[in-house]
Amino acid sequence: MLKPIPKRVLVTGENGQVGQSLKAMAQNYPQFAFYFAGREQFDLASDDTIKLFFSAQVFDAIIHCAAYTAVDKAESEPALANQINHLAVAHIAKLAKEQNALLIYLSTDYVFDGRASQPYDEAAQTCPINLYGQTKRDGERAIIAANPSALIVRTSWVYTKYGHNFVNTMLKLGRQRDELNVIYDQIGTPTYAPDLAAAILVMLNAELVGSSLEGLQSEKRTDKNVSIFHYTNEGVCSWYDFAQAVFEMAAIPCRLQPIESLAYPTPAQRPGYSLLSKARIKQAYGLQIPHWRESLARCLLYQGKRI
């Protein structure tokens, strides 16, 4: 019997946290031929390079991980953040539709204002309170307008062993200082990028190749609009709790002082409450999601830290 031709899957942001995590798992999915693209292949700031790239290649799916993610810097670079997180997304959504490619777009808890008192579900009213959140919300809206078969996956507090993130910052500062102040009045859930990448690959497989999971197809097919899903690890914590867990697991003796957000002003305001309900993604794709502490332990173990 002839082997089926692998589906062509583009992953943007190949050097980012989620892009690298997807790359590390790609070999487990021989049914897909992955193409990882970074800034060298096309710059999201340039519509011309995006157009040129897609005029030469056709894909069955696009996992759009690249984004302008510098939350504070976005406040002073609104045009660039808007170009990358909104206008380039609109462009890619249109090109994906033309190519009949499934688009999976990563979005953020920062589309919400953080004033809720129970986890946000996918239908909750968006109301970003910073420029980054606004551009990501506008990216979502552009997709909804241009590409009804796309999937939007909102996530929060992403970290991995690579690159700039809260865990690596705490490991570095905790080893340099005796004491550290960390905010305790912003509540959310960390997301280990490899867990998110694994969930995205389950979704991709279910959508492109099909899955025997009961309920998946019926849930998806009844929804004529863009499907929005929330994915984070399980559980809840403040940044202070998160830092404390990092120090405990990595055996760093640095003392932690809980402080309020007001005592640590930043250019971009952050939502006080960022919990996302994951009921929909778990039901639709049969996902079992690890608790954030378990995933943090895996991340630190992977880095060779004592836990």
Ligand X SMILES: NC(=O)c1ccc[n+]([C@@H]2O[C@H](COP(=O)([O-])OP(=O)(O)OC[C@H]3O[C@@H](n4cnc5c(N)ncnc54)[C@H](OP(=O)(O)O)[C@@H]3O)[C@@H](O)[C@H]2O)c1
The single residue among 158, 201, 246, 296 that binds ligand X, judged by CB under 6 A, is 158
Q: Determine how many CB atoms are found less than 10 A away from the CB of residue 268.
A: 17
Residue placing its CB nearer to ligand X in the complex, 35 or 219: 35
Q: Does 157 bind ligand X (CB under 6 A)?
A: yes
Q: Does 17 bind ligand X (CB under 6 A)?
A: yes
Q: Does 38 bind ligand X (CB under 6 A)?
A: yes
Cβ proximity of 110 and 68 under 8 Å:
no
Phi and psi at residue 188, in whole multiples of 5°?
A: -165, -160
DSSP lists the bridge partners of residue 106 as 153
d(CA 109, CA 120): 9
Q: Does 290 bind ligand X (CB under 6 A)?
A: no
- Nearest 5 degrees, angle CA 256-CA 108-CA 225? 155
The single residue among 9, 11, 22, 84 that binds ligand X, judged by CB under 6 A, is 84
Q: 300 exposed, middle or buried (CB, 10 Å; 0-12, 13-18, 19+)?
A: buried
Residue placing its CB nearer to ligand X in the complex, 158 or 250: 158
Residue placing its CB nearer to ligand X in the complex, 63 or 250: 63
d(CA 289, CA 104): 19
The single residue among 26, 45, 202, 213 that binds ligand X, judged by CB under 6 A, is 45
Residue placing its CB nearer to ligand X in the complex, 18 or 284: 18
For residue 163, give the amino acid letter.
G
Cα torsion 51, 56, 61, 64 to 10°: value is: -40
Residue placing its CB nearer to ligand X in the complex, 39 or 97: 39
Cβ of residue 21: shortest distance to ligand X, in angstroms?
A: 8
Residue corresponding to tokens 């570095």? 172
Q: Does 54 bind ligand X (CB under 6 A)?
A: no
Q: Give the nearest residue (CB) to ligand X.
A: 16
DSSP lists the bridge partners of residue 32 as 7
The single residue among 156, 227, 233, 274 that binds ligand X, judged by CB under 6 A, is 156
The single residue among 9, 10, 62, 66 that binds ligand X, judged by CB under 6 A, is 66
Q: Does 15 bind ligand X (CB under 6 A)?
A: yes
d(CA 206, CA 200): 10
Interface with ligand X (CB under 6 A): 13, 15-19, 38-39, 43-45, 65-69, 84, 106, 108, 136, 155-158, 163
